[in-house]
Amino acid sequence: MSKKFYITTPIYYPSASPHLGHAYCTTLCDILARSKKMRGYETFFLTGLDEHGEKIQKNAVANGVTPQKFVDDVAKRFLSLWEAMKIDNQGFIRTTDDYHVATVQKIFSKMLEKGDIYLSTYSGWYCVHEESYWTETQVGEEHLCPECGRPVEKKDEEAYFYRCSKYADDLLAFYESHPKFITPEARKNEMVNTFIKPGLQDLCVTRTSFDWGIPVKEAKGHVIYVWLDALTNYITALGYLQNDDSNFKKFWEDPETEIVHVIGADITRFHTIYWPMFLDSLGLRKPDRVFVHGLMMMKDGKMSKSRGNAISAYPLIERYGVDAVRYYLVSEIPFGENGVFTPEQFVMRVNQDLANNLGNLLNRTVSMIGKYFDGNIPSFVSNVNPTDKELEDLVERTVSAYEVHQDDLNPTQATMDVMELVSRANKYIEETAPWALAKDESKKAELESVMAHLAHVLYVAGELLSPILVTKSEKLFAQLGLADGEANYDDLKKFGKLDGHKVNKGEQLFPRLDVEAETKAILEMMAGPKEKTAA
């Protein structure tokens, strides 16, 4: 039975066009999914859009269109960005999809029948932007949302509530028995100490003050509130309670499937408190991990559509290629931490890592094999040069560490380890001085060994970086004389895989960038017109 992996991004709120921050989260998930698939896992990668709620309705009115027309237009922009970023997702869910609407209504009915949902009246302070109710204490004297700082409004309406109190103790016990459920751990402490232990209030799960949502079958005028609607996308997209539930059985019900949700910090409470409770109510397993990624910041704060400071990924892709953008996203910000986008760092990453390190190693190696061996990669022999074994050991350690880091949702460190291997190979060239060996016929065996080792390091780096460098890895393999699809993860520790392959010198993978000119070009992109939302 094959190993299985199910990974999801949050479903994004389509209030405006997607920006580099959306591309960051989705690309990192894509890299994790591709790395699992490369290692033989059967994977399902889901992303999508959270299309209901009062904020969408208000934005649609402001733009003079229906809510459905508004979200249809924005959905096209998200799909276009995923295509440009080479995102290989298996599912794309929109909460306005008919199958999702029908399934959420069934889920609501199941919870109602079980007694986990009840009708009452809600009075509280509501933030339209965060789609959240807050208490008098939380909003303070100035009546500001504790999440986003915007003014809140007093609302009183009939609503259905979910009995959180029924599942609070079980949730705390689950946290204890599954210490990696919430990552980073500081997020778990925040959930426990800020929300659960002080006394968890029951959650409002319907609204009557607007109608852009999924209707409640049992109560005319009620629409299902955004979090019950949105969170259940992770199972409705797999076919839960639908005629074809094969993906649900495979990627959710199977206890051997690893399930990972990657989310932003601002929705941690909903994914780590309410979502596990909803699953308990439905009698379903919980995910293995909820990983809270950091934010991509600009110098003036969080990159966001409402701030109007978000940079688009498109001009970066058009000017530098999708591989450079993907590499920057995974390498610059350790996954789980906040980071600041700067033009200087972007250019530095491309130059130092991709041009000077990886590109330089490929160019020198292919050129020397062409010059000294008529383009034929020599047969691999171990322990010819003093540092050969050290390089071989580093290859094996890098492959093993890569698996550990990817499994721990740390693609940044996995990538840095690969680049360390590439750096070591460049140093190996200086240590062995192949240009000197080539002048002495008696040193031919040493020269052959150097070229064979360098070629194998490039093969390993190309394969391990292929989930990131989705177009350049194939070009690297082509220069090593590999046919399309010939590279194989299972061969990475099989030294001699490239024996006899004929190299094909091609264009530089990543030409070195002019630091001053390209920094200026990116600053101009950042200064361009921004799309800003009303809420």
CATH number at residue 155: 3.40.50.620
Spatial separation of the C-alpha atoms in residues 238 and 396, rounded to whole Å: 37
Residues 104 and 54 in one domain: yes
Q: Give a yes or no: residue 304 inside a domain.
A: no
Q: Give a yes or no: residue 380 inside a domain.
A: yes
Residues 395 and 433 in one domain: yes
Beta-bridge mates of residue 42: 4
Q: Give a yes or no: residue 310 inside a domain.
A: no
- 38 contact partners, CB below 8 Å, separation of at least 6: 463, 466, 467, 489
Q: Give a yes or no: residue 532 inside a domain.
A: no
Weakly modelled stretches of the chain, pLDDT under 70: 1, 299-310, 528-535
Residues 27 and 90 in one domain: yes
Structure tokens at 407: 């499994």
- 26 contact partners, CB below 8 Å, separation of at least 6: 9, 47, 82, 85, 87, 89
What is the structure's pLDDT at 287?
98
Residues 245 and 351 in one domain: no
> Looking at 472, 491, 510, which one is the last position of a domain?
491
Residues 240 and 365 in one domain: no
What is the structure's pLDDT at 385?
85
Q: Give a yes or no: residue 535 inside a domain.
A: no
Residues 174, 177, 180, 185: is their CA dihedral positive or negative? positive
Helix count and strand count (H, E) for the chain: 22, 16
Give this prediction's pTM: 0.92
Residues 245 and 335 in one domain: no
Q: Give a yes or no: residue 356 inside a domain.
A: yes
Element (H or E) spanning 339, and its range?
A: strand 339-340
Judge whether 363 and 425 are in contact, CB under 8 Å. Answer: no
Residues 225 and 266 in one domain: yes
Residues 384 and 486 in one domain: yes
Structure tokens at 264: 């932003």
Residues 197 and 322 in one domain: no
Residues 414 and 479 in one domain: yes
Q: Give a yes or no: residue 15 inside a domain.
A: yes
Polymer length of the chain: 535
Residues 338 and 245 in one domain: no
What is the structure's pLDDT at 24?
92
What is the structure's pLDDT at 532?
47
Residues 54 and 127 in one domain: yes
Q: Which domain, by its residues, includes 106?
A: 4-293
Q: How many domains does the chain have?
A: 2
Q: Residue 491 carries which DSSP code?
A: G
Q: Give a yes or no: residue 21 inside a domain.
A: yes
Which three-class secondary structure state does DSSP give residue 187? helix
Which three-class secondary structure state does DSSP give residue 389? helix
CATH code of 379's domain: 1.10.730.10
